[in-house]
Structure 1
Amino acid sequence: MIRIGILGCAEIAFRRFLPALMENKEFECVCIAEEYDKSKLEQFEKEFGIKSAENFQAIIEDENIDAVYIPLPPALHFPYAKAALEHGKHVFVEKPSTISYEQTSELVEIAKQRNLVLQENYMFQYHAQIAEIRKLLKEGLVGDIRLMKASFGFPLRAANDFRYNKALGGGALLDAAGYVTKLARLMLGSTVKVDTATLNGLEGYEVDMYGSATYSNEEGDVLQGSFSMDSYYQCCLEVWGNKGKAFTKRIFTAPPGYTPILELETNEGKQQIELPEDAHFAHSIEKFAEAFGNDTLRMNMYDDLLIQARMVEDIRGFNRNKV
């Protein structure tokens, strides 16, 4: 049994993480702590029966706890993940892992030295639709691929949302762009790189609010990505080939019980292909547990963390003097 503690009463912990965790027999959620709005603790205790700890440090120092889940704003990931790793805890951290390549690299080094799991929760990568789409494309669904496009964006949220707070690690680059970047890694492989990128701000906001990036690999395959935090909702992947075009609209956020549809257009007409229903958050938690005893999986997670952080850093580099 893996005993886990939660640092922070975030919405994603309440809506997604804990419902999935409670279904997994390998875990026991021991406690939760909140340091910024302790009134939230009551809701978690009532819904899930979780005891509350005095503060984050109490969970980190508890020798009876094996792992921590960190759903805090991005700028707080590094100090608490570092402290947890240094106290021998495995870490399941919400995306992005940190706000810089330097910070992520330091966490990876600590985790490696101590043989600890360090997982960044881009859960959509574990949805069965990803594997199915890649399989269909490899089988020639649209012929030879000419271009891939991915978009992830959503309307404005409440003004006090951490995504608009620079000090807390806000901005589209560290939020929506991370999803597109991770998908580029999945579709283009380990040689993926950022060719160019742009970040844009909006009047009244201190962070980047939307942007785009172009990714490619050694084989010359290309994915164009766009991301936004003030837009009409988009969550899609399009693949254009010499024999057709495929499109799906819930590539990042397909919930349990939802059947994704891949729309195919060819010279023969249009077709809708049902993709598998799945529960990607549950699978992400399963991967976390699996990595405890799987050295290869742990090492792959370290590599993926560094590739993701490097690409995010590269996007920032293209816009160093802009936003």
Structure 2
Amino acid sequence: MTERPLRVAVLGTADIARRRVLPALAKDPDVELTAVASRSGARAREVAGRYGCAAVTSYDAVLGRDDVDAVYVPLPVSLHAEWTRRALDAGKHVLAEKPLTAHAPTTAGLLDLARASGLALMENVMFVHHPQHTVVRELVTGGAIGELRAFTAAFTVPPLPAGNIRHRPELGGGALLDIGYYPLRAALYFLGTGLEVAGAALEHSDGSAVETAGAVLVRSPAGVLGQLAFGMEHAYQSAYELWGSKGRIRVETAFTPPAEHKPTVWVTDAHGPRELTLAPHDQVAATVRAFVRAVRSAGTDPRTAAECLEQATLLDAVRARATGR
């Protein structure tokens, strides 16, 4: 017997939802998009009309609908915890934009609630679902560059409009949670858990109420150092590199590649430099599929939950190291 599609509603019409996640939800054969909510009725009708689903002006009303099994939460970071908890309390599975919350204890509480309720709670970290990173990790673990010695990663974006939510501290803005998330998550992906924040700095541009750039030095339990940089007033950069005792690997367009992008992995080993060109892959669609699998598996995967909490703990440690509190 074929399972019916997962009925998903969207709480909010943020840019990431409109540009990337809503189209992926609508295209997935195992998903039925049932409602889009916005506190602006006009915006709700505009976005919902593109997908032939219900337009709702109350997030609470969405959580009370019988035709909603799961919700996607693309709201500002400061609202993630409240609406994720409300959704879980209403018996809905949740895909929430990253970071799940601004602080590790809050993240831990939500993961505990999801586990106790038998519901899937997944943080929308899309790049980890792209196979280019699996290829790189297999090269490293297979000894292609010898013993891993160092890792560098950078994610920077050009200046954002002054009114952008990333400039508003009350909404959870700032470069660390939005931009710094990526190189930190990549460090966890390649260096493993238990990372120590050996140094961190967060910088504010003139007149900014939030940090606009940062740098972090992490150390793995095995002694591998990671140098991470991020910012939102920079030329675009999205790359990482792994250096070993016998070679190195570099990936560009690492974190937000378009679906049609053909990734290139640059490898320099004992045989000299070479390029591996990989097939295009839609990491947004892959993330939606992973969420559907999590729901079908009747709960949050323990490994996924552990990674989410480890990331939240690392973000807290960076903030504490940089600010002294």
TM-score range, shorter chain: over 0.9
Which of 114, 117, 126 is matched with 1:114 structurally?
A: 117
Partner of 2:18: 14
Provide structure 1 residue ranges, at least 5 long, that are not aligned to the other structure.
Answer: none
8 Å contact kept, 1:66–1:89? yes
2:241 & 2:125 partners in 1: Cα distance?
20
1:148 & 1:207 partners in 2: Cα distance?
27
Which of 205, 209, 214 is matched with 1:202 structurally?
A: 205
1:271-282 superposed matches below 5 A = 271-282=274-285
8 Å contact kept, 1:128–1:277? no
Partner of 2:8: 4
1:156-175 superposed matches below 5 A = 156-175=159-178
Matched, 1:245 2:237: no
* 1:314 counterpart letter in structure 2: A
Deviations 1:210-269 (A, max 9, x none): 111122322222221111111111100111222222211111011212111122335754
Partner of 2:29: 25
SS of corresponding position for 2:235: coil
Partner of 1:135: 138
Partner of 1:319: 322
2:88 & 2:129 partners in 1: Cα distance?
24
1:287-306 superposed matches below 5 A = 287-294=290-297, 298-306=301-309
* 1:103 counterpart letter in structure 2: T
Q: Supply the RMSD in Å over aligned alpha carbons.
A: 1.8
Deviations 1:163-210 (A, max 9, x none): 000000000111111111111111012333322211111111100111
2:207 & 2:163 partners in 1: Cα distance?
13
Partner of 2:185: 182
Which of 77, 83, 86 is matched with 1:83 structurally?
A: 86
2:236 & 2:198 partners in 1: Cα distance?
26
Provide structure 2 residue ranges, at least 5 long, that are not aligned to the other structure.
Answer: none
1:231 & 1:14 partners in 2: Cα distance?
25
* 1:150 counterpart letter in structure 2: A
8 Å contact kept, 1:129–1:260? yes
- State the aligned residue count: 321
1:25 & 1:293 partners in 2: Cα distance?
14
Matched, 1:40 2:58: no
Percent of pairs identical after alignment? Answer: 31
User: TM-score normalized by structure 1?
Assistant: 0.94
* 1:234 counterpart letter in structure 2: Q
Deviation at 1:321?
4.6
Partner of 1:105: 108
1:295 & 1:82 partners in 2: Cα distance?
18
* 1:11 counterpart letter in structure 2: D
2:168 & 2:217 partners in 1: Cα distance?
26
* Greater than 3 Å deviation, 4+ residue runs: 265-270
